Structures are given as C-alpha cells and as structure tokens.
Amino acid sequence: MRRLRRLAHLVLFCPFSKGLQGRLPGLRVRCVFLAWLGVFAGSWLVYTRYSSYSELCRGHVCQAVICDQYHKGIISGSICQDLCELHLVEWRTCLSVTPGQQVYSGLWRDKDVTIKCGIEEALDSKAQTDAAPRRELVLFDKPTRGTSIKEFREMTLGFLKANLGDLPSLPALVGQVLLMADFNKDNRVSLAEAKSVWALLQRNEFLLLLSLQEKEHASRLLGYCGDLYLTEGVPHGAWHAAALPPLLRPLLPPALQGALQQWLGPAWPWRAKIAIGLLEFVEELFHGAYGTFYMCETTLANVGYTATYDFKMADLQQVAPEAAVRRFLQGRRCEHSADCTYGRDCRAPCDRLMRQCKGDLIQPNLAKVCALLRGYLLPGAPADLREELGTQLRTCTTLSGLASQVEAHHSLVLSHLKTLLWKKISNTKYS
C-alpha cells in the first residue's frame, strides 16, 4: 500500500511517468532534479527581488549624503537642523518606485509627511559599505562663489523661462524662489542657500509644486534641505499598492491594481466627490498663472484624497509644463506616433511625410482623465445616473488635443460632468 502511494505521488508530480516498471530510479533522479531546479529558480527570484528592493529603498543613503553636504556647509535649508542634528525627521514606509527618486512616508514634528530625495549621483560605487557616502558635486555646483544676487535672479528667471515658457508672471515666481531660499529671514541669500534652491529647481516635481503651490489639489511644501524636501503626508488611496512590500509591487498587473482600488476604495458617493476634485485639478492645469501643464501618466495610483475625501494629486513627477513637452517634440524624428511620446502617455501625431513629430498632443488631459473615470465611477454608480454618466464620459474621451478644440469644447464638457456629479451628492453628507 505504501509503495502504491509513492508511485501515485510520482505520477502526480512527474509527467514523464509512463512505463514505471524498470525506470523508477531514472524517474526519481528526474524528480529530484526538477525539485532542485524549482528551489534554485525560487531562490534566484527572491534574491533578484530583494536586490531590487535594496535598490529601491535607500533612504539611509539619502539622509547620509544630504547631511554630509550640510555639515560641510555646501547646502542648507529649513529642515537641515531637524534632519541632521536633532533627528526629528522619522523615515517610515518606503514608497519608491524608481531608485533615483527616493520616496518615504514619515513623521516630522508630529506631522505626517512625505520625504522625497534624488540619489542619481549619490554613491561612489567604489566606496566601502560602512563609509559615509559622498556625493559628486555636480548637483550642487551652481551658482559658483562670487555670483551676485542680481546674477542669481537672472539665472533663475532664465531657467524658469526655459521650463515654463516666457510668461509675464515669472518675475513674481522668481521673487518667491528667493524668499524661500532665505529660509532664516536674514534678508540675504547665502551661497549654500542659493545652491540648495537651485538644486531643488532641477527636480521636476519641486518645480511643479512651486508653480501650483496656491492650488487646492497639489500637496503643500513643508520644508527642504539641499534637494531633499518634505510635503504633506501621503494622501489616502494613492498608495493601496504601497501597502504591499516594495518588491511585490511590480508583480501586480494593472488590472489587479485597478481591482484592488475598487475593493479597498471608498463608497461611490465619496468617489464622485474625489472625481470632482480631479476634474477641478484638470482646470487648474489648463492656462494657469504659470502656463499649461500636461498629465503624462494618468493612472489610479495618482488619485489620492484627504480624510474628508477631497482630491489630492499624489505624485507630480509625471506632470510636465507645456513648454517642456513642446521642446521635446520640436524637430523630433519619427516613424510612428509612438516615437512622439513624452513620459508615459503624452503622445503627439507623427507627420509621416516630414518624418517629424507635430506639436499638438493626440489626447488632452481631460480626455485621459475621463477614460480613467470610466473605470473609477461607473462600477457601483446609481442606476438612474449610470447611463447619462457613461454617455458624458464617452463623449469626453473623444476630445482631441488640437488647439482649435481645446477652448471650444473642454470647459463645456468639464462643466457638464461636474454639474452631473454634484447634483447626485449635493445636500447629502457626502458633499
């Protein structure tokens, strides 16, 4: 009986088991080999994922690098003392998705915060693991010693013009940059302060935070040290996938991430309120004080909200100024429209005759957001609203990015959507 069980076990786990008589030792060897191969493959997968995790989550490196530069007097900032001397900044959960941009949830002076820091050039690969990491002074090389405040002002204005466009509002933004640089309010900008704020401006998200700081739906900047900065805590909902260990996040297919968002997300009326905030954010990005901005990665991962279900953009890394997108597309050679893609989904048509990218995007912000909202709002929508809501969202997704359509259609479609949703939740606890 015991032998029969063993043979049945071999049949189940060894597909090549015909004619067991006379070949049992060979089958055993084959099964042992396959089991060993499975263990080896599993171990290798765990090792590679662990290596990926250790690459993704290097907050200790970030802090060591920044504090090293601070103690040398190269950089400064409003939270440097708390970060490097008083140790009042607590690093908690790793939320990084790329090694070059470190993102952590944290705690600072009893406030929930998000800590962000870039480490692309942070490590000397030949350094000992127990040695203090040293940053090459490429990032903090400007402005140089001897630069006057007037020259730094002109330098900042030139940078903003190149990235945001030649706008009449830019001198006021330069004034805000200088005020922020003078964090200790001594009415002067030191070289360390200037180097820090210049390094921050090179960070795309920081530039966007600065440009959208008066907008309701962008996270508020709380402080900085060098090019490390703190914003308000991670919005609810934005990081459902981040509740998983970082090494497991890349394994989740987009469909499963969307399902998790639905299962773990709020009730439909709260989702309607969040969607209204997202639509308002689209309005804020269109022809604001500092130009137009494009959402170049439109995913549910960026749909965050506060404790009162007000929308907050979770990540501005993939929001790009129009000037930057146009500069990328201008004169770019192409064979297909896929060659004219900025970020993940800011795509322009390809002129196949000229073999160059055109300047207008195929899909504007509103069309991409409406495509996202179809999966976010239609499941669980009230029966008396579902048909009309579906029709309006379908109409919205057909909008093009052509300049001739933008002014004429977008504001009208957006207004209709917001009105439809507000009607359903107004005068209830959800409003």
Reported as a single tens digit per residue, the pLDDT across 194-211 is 999 999 999 888 988 888
DSSP state of 236: B
pLDDT of the residue at 297: 87
Q: Sign of torsion, CA 176 180 184 187?
A: negative
As a whole number, mean pLDDT of residues 221-244 equals: 76
* Residue-wise pLDDT tens digits, 87-105: 999 999 998 888 888 999 9
* Residue-wise pLDDT tens digits, 156-194: 999 999 999 899 999 999 999 999 999 999 989 999 999
Model confidence at 51: pLDDT above 80:
no
Token output for 367? 């069309």
pLDDT of the residue at 118: 85
Q: For residue 93, how many other CB atoms are within 10 A of its CB? A: 15
- In the chain, the domains with their CATH numbers are 58-119+142-232 (no CATH), 251-427 (1.10.510)
* Residue-wise pLDDT tens digits, 9-32: 444 444 444 454 455 455 566 666
- Assign 3-class secondary structure to 286-339: CCECCECEEECCCCHHHEEECCCCCEEECCCCCEEEHHHHHHHHCCCECCCHHH
Token output for 30? 């084959």
d(CA 308, CA 274) in angstroms, rounded, equals 10
Please give the residue that has the higher pLDDT: either 379 or 314.
379
* Residue-wise pLDDT tens digits, 105-157: 999 999 999 999 987 643 333 333 333 344 444 578 889 888 899 999 999 99
| Length of the chain, in residues | 431
pLDDT of the residue at 4: 42
Report residue 401's pLDDT band, with 50, 70 and 90 as the boundaries. Answer: low
Dump the DSSP string for 161-199.
HHHH-S-TTHHHHHHHHHHHH-TT-SS---HHHHHHHHH
Average pLDDT of the chain is 80
Model confidence at 218: pLDDT above 90:
no
As a whole number, mean pLDDT of residues 55-75 equals: 92
* Residue-wise pLDDT tens digits, 359-395: 888 888 999 999 999 988 998 899 999 999 999 999 9
Model confidence at 240: pLDDT above 80:
no
Report residue 43's pLDDT band, with 50, 70 and 90 as the boundaries. Answer: low
pLDDT of the residue at 222: 94
Q: Sign of torsion, CA 241 246 248 250?
A: positive
Burial class (CB in 10 A: 0-12, 13-18, 19+), 252: middle
pLDDT of the residue at 124: 39
Q: For residue 272, how many other CB atoms are within 10 A of its CB? A: 25
Please give the C-alpha separations between residue 207 and each of 62, 173, 202, in angstroms, as whole numbers.
Answer: 20, 11, 7
d(CA 142, CA 380) in angstroms, rounded, equals 53
As a whole number, mean pLDDT of residues 58-64 equals: 92
Percent of the chain residues past pLDDT 90, beyond the cut: 46
